[in-house]
Structure 1
Amino acid sequence: MGTFEYFLEILATLFYAISGVRLAAVKKFDWFGAYTIGFVTAIGGGTIRDVFLKCNPFWMLDPWYAIATIVGLVMVIVLKKYLVRIEGTFYIFDAIGLGLFVDVGIYKTLLMGFPMWVAIIMGTITGAFGGVLRDIFINEEPLVFRKEIYATACIAGGLVYWGCLMAGASATVQQVACGLFIIVLRFLAVKHNWSFPILKN
């Protein structure tokens, strides 16, 4: 990966780790348990992606992903008053991590020569499935399976990425547009309670 994409992935790891540790703090986990939840949240989706793409999981090749999770844990411990007690901070870190990880997932998949439709699927897996594992570990119904706009935000962001690619925009513009679109869409969905209809029997 390029330097910019590497920075995005480290940043995404940090934000997703904070979202996981924050929920673990609400559930009264100890420090080790909170770190585990944060780490699983941060690397879960990317690990599944790399298994599908038949390459070594990204976090096994570089210690900075584990270090980023430690930083996330320390931030929650030090700034607990702001990150845990203030309602809505979870959605901020989760939305930013989601947008950045979708960016990285799409970029890596395209880099390996797969078509765009596969890249969008891999980007969605990268972004959403860390949160799925987080929610399962803390015994919550995963966000992606609720009526909230979550995985669909990833897909929509992937289509924005594709549109920028077709328009001839630079790789940086593609990634920034995709990530910002997902983050803003998630914020708006939470703020205005946007959702899809519930499937009824």
Structure 2
Amino acid sequence: MTAAALLPILDLVGVAVFAISGALAAGRKSLDLLGVIVIAIVTSVGGGTLRDLLLDRTAFWIVNPKYLVTIIVAALATMAYVRFRRPPDKALQVADALGLAFFAISGAQIAETSGTGGLIAVVMGTITGVFGGVLRDVLCAEIPMILRKGNIYATAAIAGTSAYVVLQDAGVARLWSAAAGMLVIAGLRLAAIIWSLSLPVFTINERR
């Protein structure tokens, strides 16, 4: 499979996984059907929409409405599943970690196709991966994961997209660079969830 063929697949998988995380977050707040779908959509398209606006592109879900269909189906399937089985305690975080990996790399690839350099590709990939989750948490009255003390979240996206860009510059095929970048992101985020890893916290001592 070529990198060009992989990009739309990554986008679809990314929106589906983020839709699951959005539906789980909405369910924990006991929202109704419309609320669940709205949170799922915002979570799935928020980062990509901001990326497209910054790159002066038409938002991807407007160009191709199949993304909205995928989001709605994934949200409804999640609602149906949790009616019969309780999701694992860390299901939201795991779904979010996978969505972060897929979306961050696809965002970096889209930035590249728009003619940006490596640094901007890293920035756009990170925005694509994290901004939808920020909107989800704000709408659900939660502290966004990106702002939680010591949380390895945006750091994972930056590390993975940077690995993707560096590997490509080193001559590694785009497909394998993308796979490595996703593994870095998902690996760091899942490791942080499983072993409670965190970044050092900067604290100012007010006592003199």
**Structure 1 and Structure 2 fold alike (TM over 0.5):** yes
| 1:31 alignment counterpart | 33
RMSD across aligned positions (CA): 1.4
Q: Give secondary structure in 1 for the equivalent of 2:64.
A: coil
| 2:169 alignment counterpart | 166
2:123 pairs with one of 77, 100, 121: 121
1:14-43 per-position Cα deviation (integer Å, ceiling 9, x unaligned): 000100110100100001100000000000
Q: 1:32 corresponds to which letter in structure 2? A: L
1:193 pairs with one of 172, 182, 196: 196
Segments of 5+ residues of structure 2 without an aligned counterpart are none
Q: Which moved more, 1:83-92 or 1:63-72?
A: 83-92
| 2:96 alignment counterpart | 94
Residue 170 of structure 1 deviates from its aligned partner by: 1.2
Q: Structure 1 runs of 4+ off > 6 angstroms?
A: none
Residue 121 of structure 1 deviates from its aligned partner by: 0.3
Segments of 5+ residues of structure 1 without an aligned counterpart are none
1:142-168 per-position Cα deviation (integer Å, ceiling 9, x unaligned): 000112100010110012102211221
* 8 Å contact kept, 1:76–1:84: no
Q: 1:28 corresponds to which letter in structure 2? A: S
| 2:45 alignment counterpart | 43
* 8 Å contact kept, 1:99–1:179: yes
Q: Matched residues in 1 for 2:64 and 2:93: separation?
A: 27
Q: 2:158 corresponds to which letter in structure 1? A: I
Residue 82 of structure 1 deviates from its aligned partner by: 7.3
Q: Which moved more, 1:36-45 or 1:73-82?
A: 73-82
| 1:176 alignment counterpart | 179
Q: 1:170 corresponds to which letter in structure 2? A: A
* 8 Å contact kept, 2:23–2:79: no
| 1:130 alignment counterpart | 132
Call closer, same or farther: CA 1:57–1:80 in 2, change over 3 Å: same
Q: Which moved more, 1:138-147 or 1:74-83?
A: 74-83
Q: 1:199 corresponds to which letter in structure 2? A: F
Q: Give secondary structure in 2 for the equivalent of 1:198.
A: coil
Q: 1:48 corresponds to which letter in structure 2? A: L
Aligned residues: 201
1:140 and 2:117 aligned? no
In our comparison, the structure showing a higher alpha carbon Rg is 2
Q: Which moved more, 1:82-91 or 1:156-165?
A: 82-91
- Normalising by structure 1, we get a TM-score of 0.96
